[in-house]
Amino acid sequence: MAFLRGRRAWSVGLSLALLTLLAVGCKGEKTGPGGEPPATHGAATNGAGATTGGALLQEGAKAEEADTLALVIAGSPETMDPGKMSGAPEGMLAFNCFEGLWMPSQDSGAPVYGAAKSHEVSADGRVWTIQLREDAKWSNGDPVLASDFVFAWKRVLTPGFDADYAEMLDIFKGAAAYRKGETKDWETVGVKAEGERTLKVELVNPTPYLTELFAFYTFFPVHQKTVEAHGEDWVKPEHYIGNGAYKLAKYEHQQHLLLERSEAYWDKANVSIPKVRIRIIKDNTAQLNAFKSGQLDIMSGGIPVGQIPALRGYKEFRMDPLLGTYFYRVNVKANEALGKAEVRQALALAVDRKALVQRTLKGLPLPAGGFVPEMPGYTPKTKLDFDPDKARDLLAKAGYPEGKGFPETTLLFNTDENHKLLAEIIQDMWKRELGITIKLENMEWKTYLEAVDKGNFEIARAGWIGDYSDPETFLIIMTSGNGNNDTGWGDPAYDQLVLGAQAEADPKKRFAMQADAEEKLMAAMPVIPIYFYRNAALVSTRVEGFGANNRDVHLVKYMRLR
């Protein structure tokens, strides 16, 4: 289900997590393991992830528009159609101008009712009956109907429709066959409007994270009358109709978008900020300067890498977990050594993640103890630690004592100074702890992707950003035959646990099966986790209600201006 997202996630990982979080080697220096993290100007961290030092806003600077929240994106939205969206700039528009059945909450991001007011689930977990709010309306005053959701989902599933995330809707009974063109009969798809405000969906399997999916923009409704009346032009500002807390008032390409509070929104009484200006500023340094001068209230992601250590001492700076993992893939079919689990385990145990994070990465990300980042309710059964003695024993057991006889092996990474720095440090760790010499090779982005896709690598860096807060979004990519499992590794027992968990309605049993699956993955070690991402942001002290959640989704409806 996460295949398309995963392909996108590598790109997002670069722009959001790596460029934002890897505050390393700004002068090209290579720091070794150990040592202390840099000073943070004596600033303490508050419970929300922000610091409590001095103010970053330049003296005399103030917000340009007192009643307007100023946000920033690095480029114009690729599309204004929520059914076609797949990037962060588009998401900022969708989450504020549209509303799904459920929506992300303010702090944890856990789904809460949006356009829905209640729901019932069948005993087997496969049939959901959802009641819509009577007062849910489009920005033109029309009522939000169950048929609007059905219409939107049918568009996404229609063969030929340009939807990056159409595969996500395969959770619905018959949806995959319709999407692939195997049937043209929409009645075979388990999505029905029963009256104006009752929506009934039938699922292939019980899906405990279904509300998380409903809170994602691919599942948002569109105004059927507008789309049918204007076709592809419905996304133009003069036709743009949404059902969210804000409506699009103005759009100047590569300049800004202006949103205004929707007077038709059902919860308008609790929407405090009248206007939102989304500025489009390509250059990260220019974004930071705009924040310092009061032209921006929030800058989430994109902070220049060399600036983060110095910014950590200011009260506007905050660091929150992000649902993502930086790791190395191992091609188990590349050579005899990498085909042995003991060798892959030795490579993983010889990486000092704590030192790497503390010294080189300035304490920004979190050392990865496994493949799945921390999630509510999920407890992994194993934790990956730095254990060079065990690593040497495993390497000797595999037939390579002190690294003798180890075949020539190359670590591949896409061209980027941050990836290069990490690769050089880990290369040094493997040499020092295991006695093996690993070559480094960099490729430009497209060439690198092609090499990984075709299995033309031995070890390669990778990143994965989850789509929803469930371990499945990570574990599924390592199942046999998955489009993102480029390691050549497969285990039927692992597959059975991951796929079997999809049909398990009991959350505790489901998490237990997933923990067993991750344990098998860590024993086989076709992936070597390095660290978990975190997101760096700057939030003006005049903004209240900027919650912390692991996907960096922030609804303006929850915020207030002092």
Give the tens place of pLDDT for each residue, 259-273. Answer: 999 999 999 999 999
Domain CATH code at residue 145 = 3.90.76.10
What are the backbone dihedrals phi and psi of residue 432, each rounded to the nearest 5 degrees, phi first? Answer: -70, -45
Q: 41-63: per-residue pLDDT in tens?
A: 223 333 345 555 677 876 556 66
Number of domains making up the chain:
2
| Angle between helix 417-434 and helix 341-349 axes, rounded to 10 deg | 110
Q: Are strands 438-443 and 256-261 parallel, antiparallel or unpaired?
A: unpaired
What are the Cα distances from residue 200, in Å, to 101, 132, 154, 386, 449? 12, 11, 14, 50, 40
> Considering the domain boundaries, does residue 457 fall inside one?
yes
Is the domain of 9 the same as that of 109? no
Reading the block at residue 410, the tokens are 């190359």
What are the backbone dihedrals phi and psi of residue 238, each rounded to the nearest 5 degrees, phi first? Answer: -70, -15
Q: What pLDDT does residue 507 have?
A: 86
Compute the distance between CA of residue 464 and CA of residue 324 in angstroms, rounded to an integer.
5
How confident is the model over 196-223, as a mean pLDDT? Answer: 95
Neighbours of 377 (CB within 10 A): 12
Q: 360-393: per-residue pLDDT in tens?
A: 887 788 999 999 998 888 999 999 999 999 999 9
Q: What pLDDT does residue 88 have?
A: 78
Is the domain of 224 the same as that of 157? yes
- Residue 183: which residues within 8 A CB-CB, separation 6 or more? 174, 177
Percent of the chain with pLDDT over 90: 68
Q: What pLDDT does residue 315 have?
A: 93
Q: Are 380 and 515 in contact (CB under 8 A)?
A: yes
> Considering the domain boundaries, does residue 253 fall inside one?
no
Residue 229 pLDDT > 80: yes
Is the domain of 363 the same as that of 442? yes
Q: What pLDDT does residue 378 have?
A: 94
Q: What pLDDT does residue 45 have?
A: 33
> Considering the domain boundaries, does residue 214 fall inside one?
yes
> Considering the domain boundaries, does residue 466 fall inside one?
yes
How confident is the model over 424-452, as a mean pLDDT? Answer: 95
> Considering the domain boundaries, does residue 209 fall inside one?
yes
Is the domain of 114 the same as that of 227? yes
Is the domain of 94 the same as that of 25? no
Q: Which domain holds residue 93?
A: 79-232
Is the domain of 14 the same as that of 135? no
Is the domain of 226 the same as that of 92? yes
Is the domain of 376 the same as that of 466? yes
Is the domain of 473 the same as that of 342? yes
> Considering the domain boundaries, does residue 298 fall inside one?
no
Domain end call among 177, 210, 232? 232
> Considering the domain boundaries, does residue 268 fall inside one?
no
Compute the distance between CA of residue 150 and CA of residue 285 in angstroms, rounded to an integer.
43
> Considering the domain boundaries, does residue 452 fall inside one?
yes
Q: What pLDDT does residue 12 have?
A: 35
For the chain, the average pLDDT equals 87
Predicted confidence band of residue 254 (pLDDT cuts 50, 70, 90): confident
Helices (H) and strands (E) in the chain, counts: 17, 19
Q: Give DSSP secondary structure letters for 378-445.
A: ---S------HHHHHHHHHHTT-GGGTTPPPEEEEEES-HHHHHHHHHHHHHHHHHH---EEEEEE-H
Is the domain of 395 the same as that of 464? yes
Compute the distance between CA of residue 205 and CA of residue 171 in angstroms, rounded to an integer.
7
Domain end call among 166, 198, 232? 232
Is the domain of 522 the same as that of 400? yes
In this predicted model, which residue has the larger pLDDT, 19 or 413? Answer: 413
Q: Where are the beta strands (DSSP E) in 48-115?
A: 68-73, 102-104, 111-113
Is the domain of 215 the same as that of 333? no
